[in-house]
Structure 1
Amino acid sequence: MNETVQAVLEELATGCRVLHAEGHADMTLGHLGWRDPIGRGVWVKRSGIGLGEVIGAADFVLLDFDGNRLAGEGRIHKEWPIHTEILRERPDIDVVGHTHPFHATAFSALDIELEAVTNEAAYLGLPVARFDDTRGLIDTPELGRQLAAALGRQSVALMRNHGVLFVGTRISDAVLTGIFLERACRSQLQILATGKPFVATPLVELASKKAQILDPNLIRTFWDFYKRNTESGMYS
């Protein structure tokens, strides 16, 4: 493992711990993956440990696009085809995450659209994608391809009665997208629980709102904030 790969995997480990702290923890379930920079496949969090227990580069396994181990130790998540098939289909992204955050998973059971009732949803690209082909594990390449087709060119997908999928060009983009999705779903569920009418940002205004309040500089600032909190032990 060269120093560049080592450094990125250390940041990927930080991303796992941030997700754990921000509502994506589910025992030992959930995983982040990163496209190998020289095209060998994908580095995926090893199975058997929770997102909050990912310490560093040694907690990732390198798989080729057929799911064969090329490097790393530890068990392999059954849902490795999520990463391989999404990355095959989306050369524009390098990071894939799949988790089971409580509010977004609950929201996936509803036949209603996620709306921009708070700022976070403006970052996601609405309407969000939906995956309804199975409620079970994405444990075959065929199911991975179906999930990739459902995602299309979007950054997130709600997986019915199961969890969420989120992607990005960088670790920071993907992790923050996962965090914003969970927050947006939580906000809308809480509003729906009141039984009162509500108003959301119109779809035609979302692009300008994202450019205004969630610009790349602010996203980098947010990511630095989460990394500082993780490194300082605030989440422990």
Structure 2
Amino acid sequence: MSSTTVTETRSIPSRVVGVSDSTPADEGTEFPAMHPAENDKTFQALARGNRAGTLKLRGIPIHTDVYAKRQWMREHMAAAFRFFGKQGYGEGVSGHISMRDPVLKDHFWINPFAKHFSLMKASDLVLVDSEGYVCEGGNQTLINEAGFMIHSEIHKARPDVVAAAHTHGIYGKTWSAFGKPIEMITQDACNFYGKLSVYDDHGGIALAQDEGRQIAKALGNNMACILQNHGLLTVGSTVDEAAFLFYSLDKACHSQLMAEAAAANGVPKIIISDEVAAYTAEAVQNPHNLYLEFQPEFDLIVEESNGRVLE
């Protein structure tokens, strides 16, 4: 089956993606190391501290123990699911987040089949191999076949991607019916400037590997893809980034739908200029920033669950 990609082609500064450290525990990783948060000038420019410059934004933490890193990633993945549950992204057994394992580089974690997002705990997550079979080390239960077909091909095509998220949120799937990218009508929409594509050849439920390959091809090197007549897909260098981007894109689709309704009644839209959109994107499309955007939600979920999400 063919796939047509509609991609924003305007140029913006390249985005650093990958894991947060290059310590001995992570030697051999295929993900490029990113600058530590305290040395990332673009990230640190987002907030102001003291005159001495000793107060710094905390970005993606560095782990010297790869197994501790795995547990930390699983905890944040479980929190991402609970956040998705709060947003109403669940619909039956549909929807999934995947996360590349930092120990076994060709394995990834995914949610168990038919487990409500809002009940997810770190111990519920399932470890699967490169062929999608459940492995020891994680929850011994079934996974969503369509989820594997989509996510495995994305992880194969994008070694830089640590996590990918896809659900059938109402605003994203409704806007997807138009087969178009969102417009730069708000500052928040600029989160995706130059990094959003559209997969416009929907082939039904992704139970065939070819559909996953076509979706991965349509995503290209972008951070998000609108799957026509289907929903949204976002990726990130952390599961926190992928989750925040999904939420941000779904809200942008909601905003776009309301703007289209107003425009249909004669109210003109004002589109943000390319220059301003690119300037905004340069500041916000930073892995540390996109990670940090999710941390208030992570803290709230840990508090609300009395820590059960971490179990």
Larger Rg: 2
Q: How many residues align?
A: 233
Offset of 1:221 from its aligned partner?
A: 4.0
Moved more, 203-212 or 85-94: 203-212
Any residues of structure 2 matched to 1:69-84 within 5 Å, and which? 69-71=134-136, 72-79=139-146, 80-84=148-152
In the other structure, the counterpart of 2:154 is 86
TM-score of the two chains, using structure 1 as the length reference: 0.89
Counterpart check, 1:120 vs 2:185 = no
Q: Deviations over 1:128-157 (max 9, x none)?
A: 211132242122222111110010011111
**Distance (Å, rounded) in 1 between the aligned partners of 2:96 and 2:247:** 14
Name the amino acid aligned to 2:111: K
Q: Does 1:40 align with 2:113?
A: no
Cα pair 1:28 1:48 within 8 Å, conserved? yes
Displacement of 1:104 after TM fit?
0.9
Tell me what 2:212 maps to: 144
How far apart are residue 211 of structure 1 and its match? 3.4
Deviation at 1:23, TM superposition (A): 4.4
Q: Within 5 Å, give how 1:91-170 maps onto structure 2.
A: 91-126=159-194, 128-170=196-238
Aligned partner of 1:226 among 282, 293, 297: 297
> Amino acid of the residue matched to residue 114 of structure 2?
G
Q: Secondary structure at the match of 2:135?
A: strand
Return the letter of the residue paired with 1:66: E
Report deviation, 1:118. 1.7
* Other-structure match for 2:60: none
After TM superposition, the score normalised by the length of structure 2 is 0.69
Aligned-residue sequence identity (percent) comes to 25
Q: Which residue identity lines up with residue 220 of structure 2 in the other structure?
A: G
Q: After superposing the two structures, state which structure 1 stretch, 3-12 or 102-111, moved more.
A: 3-12
Letter of the aligned partner of 1:183 in structure 2? K
**Cα distance change on mapping 1:27 and 1:233 into 2, 3 Å:** farther
- Work out whether residues 284 and 290 of structure 2, in 8 Å CA contact, stay in contact via their aligned partners in 1: no
Runs of 4 or more consecutive aligned structure 1 residues displaced over 3 Å after TM superposition: 1-4, 211-221
Whole-angstrom distance in 2 between the partners of 1:211 and 1:176: 17
User: Separation in 2 of the partners of 1:215 and 1:148?
Assistant: 22
**Displacement, 1:111?**
4.2
The more displaced of 136-145 and 86-95 is 136-145
Does the CA contact (< 8 Å) of 2:179 and 2:198 recur in 1? no
Q: 1:219 to 1:40 in 2, by over 3 A?
A: closer
Give the number of the structure with larger relative contact order, counting CA–CA contacts within 8 Å between residues 6 or more apart: 2
Change (3 A) 1:215 1:91: closer
Q: Between 203-212 and 77-86, report the one with greater CA deviation.
A: 203-212
Specify every segment of 5 or more residues in structure 2 that has no aligned partner in the other structure, as ranges: 1-65, 306-311
